[in-house]
């Protein structure tokens, strides 16, 4: 493929080599070849520098994940020591290692559910793929082979592997990938601003979409539905905070129909909402949980599925009939990843990071609320240290900009020009800084963001 930018970068530069060799995830590939890459060179705390020496305030914690910020020496030390002591160990055939055992024990002690067992993977996607397989295996073990369907939500994000990508309710992750697979259903997104009918109160909106969920369950047959999966706060779908009473009514409905609740804490877990888990913030009672990202502050890849002992007991019984429990990854329970994740969680406790996140999160939410008056802003939403700012063409009606206009992408470019990394999800600007961010750095973030918003307003005319 001819590269239109090869003449603009020295042939031995990282930019030219990127354009020649890499296939980028979640990227407009044509646009990438037109603009070229930005090479990240180093990072420390809440700041990142590119290869040209420009500094950026990291307003997205990488991809919602660098909770402790960058360059934490203690995690580097633990990784180095564990590599020297035991660089790799597997969990197949009953083998084990100390970091995996201690991390599983730690996660069970923190979990807002009756966690009996912990299964380790490497990403939120593989955790949610595992959730689907476990639901299928569990119902087979109970002699309910028809109870296999999983209900997800429109605009939910649960990963990109085959099953997790099917759970995701965003069309770009389905188009031309032949997703979703059979047995995955989608119900309403709980976004009152975009989903409410004319004159409908928030309470009536909740009743209507929960009623739609109930109708879906009855139409499909509750005896065919294994589980419902949800993020406490939708992340990649636009930072959607559920309306009051939504999860309470959903949970009651699921309980009535013997449908398990899978809590996807990949983004919300470990302090993001101001509590250890989003389930605590929204008073959920999950049956199983998926975690990743901040569990290791993304210093090394690690994910986990937490499940109740009753489910594990069914697996043991099935294994006595079939032999091996035939699921697992080469890197499940990788000792270096587990050691770093364990120390990461210990540092969060030692530094009382969740309390800090709740305090500065309240400050961030106050600053977010002030943006509601901006001429370009239709809605602001968030909780703790996660927020979304939706840009609209008409503030009075909430009418969106045409997708092709790329207003969110332009605003993101202006943010980067001013040394701020945010993420545009369509025309919603997402904020998700590292949990270690200070009050002064929150101020810096909003000064830069407001400058970019004003420039975007001038651009749209």
Residue-wise pLDDT for 364-376, tens only, equals 999 999 999 999 9
Residue-wise pLDDT for 425-439, tens only, equals 999 999 999 999 999
pLDDT value at position 215? Answer: 98
| pLDDT at position 2 over 60 | no
Q: What is the DSSP string of 19-42?
A: HHH---SS--HHHHHHH----EEE
pLDDT value at position 379? Answer: 98
Q: How large is the average pLDDT for residues 330-353? A: 98
pLDDT value at position 367? Answer: 98
- Sheet containing strand 423-425, edge to edge, reads 377-383, 386-391, 428-431, 423-425
| pLDDT at position 7 over 60 | no
| pLDDT at position 3 over 60 | no
Residue 234 phi/psi, 5-degree rounding, is: -65, 130
Q: How large is the average pLDDT for residues 32-55? A: 95
User: With pLDDT > 90 as the criterion, what percentage of the chain qualifies?
Assistant: 94
Residue 244: count of CB within 10 angstroms of its CB: 12
CA 263 to chain centre: 12
| pLDDT at position 165 over 50 | yes
Give Cα separations from 112 to 75, 209, 283 (angstroms): 26, 26, 10
pLDDT value at position 319? Answer: 84
Radius of gyration of the chain (CA): 22
Secondary structure letter of residue 147 according to DSSP:
-
Sign of CA dihedral 221, 222, 223, 227: positive
5 — pLDDT class (breaks 50, 70, 90): very low
Q: What is d(CA 259, CA 257) in angstroms, rounded to the nearest whole number? A: 6
CB 378 within 8 A of CB 417: no
Q: What is the DSSP string of 359-401?
A: HHHHHHHHHHHHGGGSTTEEEEEEETTEEEEEE-SBTTTTBPP
| pLDDT at position 6 over 50 | no
CATH code for 38-71+353-460?
Answer: 3.90.1150.10
Q: Which residues touch 175 (CB under 8 Å, ≥6 apart)?
A: none
Q: Looking at domain 74-350, which CATH architecture does it have?
A: 3-Layer(aba) Sandwich (3.40)
Residue 179: count of CB within 10 angstroms of its CB: 18
Domain ranges of the chain: 38-71+353-460, 74-350
Residue 350, SS3 per DSSP = helix
pLDDT value at position 1? Answer: 44
Q: What is the largest CA-CA distance in the chain?
A: 69
CA 413 to chain centre: 23
End-to-end C-alpha distance for the chain, whole angstroms? 38
Which tokens is 150 given? 């999983």
Residue-wise pLDDT for 374-398, tens only, equals 999 999 999 999 999 999 999 999 9
pLDDT value at position 321? Answer: 86
| pLDDT at position 271 over 60 | yes
pLDDT value at position 322? Answer: 84
Q: What is d(CA 24, CA 404) in angstroms, rounded to the nearest whole number? A: 22
Reading phi first (left if > 0) and then psi (alpha if -120 to 50, else beta), residue 227 is in beta
162 — pLDDT class (breaks 50, 70, 90): very high
CB 319 within 8 A of CB 325: yes
- Answering whether pTM is above 0.85, one says yes
Residue 189: count of CB within 10 angstroms of its CB: 19
Residue 137, SS3 per DSSP = helix
Asked which of 278-282, 320-324, 409-413, 418-422 is least confident by mean pLDDT, the reply is: 320-324
């Amino acid at each position: 493929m001819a590269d239109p930018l090869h003449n603009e970068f020295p042939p031995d530069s990282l930019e030219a080599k990127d354009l020649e060799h890499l296939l980028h995830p979640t990227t407009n590939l044509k646009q990438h070849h037109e603009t070229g890459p930005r090479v990240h060179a180093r990072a420390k705390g809440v700041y990142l520098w590119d290869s040209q020496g420009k500094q950026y305030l990291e307003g997205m914690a990488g991809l919602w994940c660098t909770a402790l910020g960058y360059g934490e020496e203690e995690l580097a030390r633990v990784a180095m020591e564990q590599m020297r002591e035991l660089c790799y160990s597997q969990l197949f055939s009953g083998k084990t290692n100390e970091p995996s055992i201690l991390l599983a024990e730690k996660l069970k002690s923190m979990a807002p559910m009756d966690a009996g067992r912990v299964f380790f993977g490497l990403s939120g996607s593989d955790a949610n793929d595992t959730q689907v397989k476990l639901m299928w295996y569990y119902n087979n073990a109970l002699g309910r082979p028809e109870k296999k369907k999983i209900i997800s939500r429109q605009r939910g994000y649960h990963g990109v592997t085959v099953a997790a990508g099917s759970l995701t309710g965003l069309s770009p992750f389905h188009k031309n990938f032949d997703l979703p697979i059979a047995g995955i259903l989608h119900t309403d997104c709980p976004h009152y601003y975009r989903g409410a009918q004319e004159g409908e109160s928030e309470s009536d909106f909740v009743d209507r979409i929960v009623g739609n969920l109930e109708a879906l369950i009855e139409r499909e047959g509750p005896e065919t539905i294994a589980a419902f999966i949800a993020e406490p706060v939708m992340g990649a779908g636009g930072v959607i905070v559920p309306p009051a009473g939504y999860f309470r009514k959903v949970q009651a409905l699921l309980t009535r129909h013997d449908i398990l609740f899978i809590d996807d804490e990949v983004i919300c877990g470990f302090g993001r909402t101001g509590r250890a888990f989003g389930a605590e913030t929204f008073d959920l009672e999950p049956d199983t949980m998926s975690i990743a990202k901040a569990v290791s502050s993304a210093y090394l890849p690690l994910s986990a599925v937490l499940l109740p002992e009753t489910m594990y007991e069914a697996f043991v019984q099935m294994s006595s009939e079939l032999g091996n429990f035939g699921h697992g990854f080469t890197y499940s329970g990788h000792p270096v990843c587990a050691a770093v994740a364990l120390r990461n969680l210990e540092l969060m406790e030692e530094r009382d990071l969740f309390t800090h996140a709740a305090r500065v999160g309240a400050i961030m939410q106050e600053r977010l609320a002030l943006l509601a008056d901006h001429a370009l802003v239709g809605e602001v939403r968030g909780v703790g240290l996660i927020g979304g700012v939706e840009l609209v063409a008409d503030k009075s009606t909430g009418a969106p900009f045409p997708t092709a206009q790329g207003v969110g992408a332009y605003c993101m470019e202006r943010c980067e020009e001013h040394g701020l990394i945010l993420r545009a999800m369509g025309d919603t600007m997402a904020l998700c800084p590292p949990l270690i961010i200070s009050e002064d750095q929150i101020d810096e973030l909003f000064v830069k963001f407001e400058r970019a918003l004003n420039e975007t307003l001038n651009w749209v005319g």
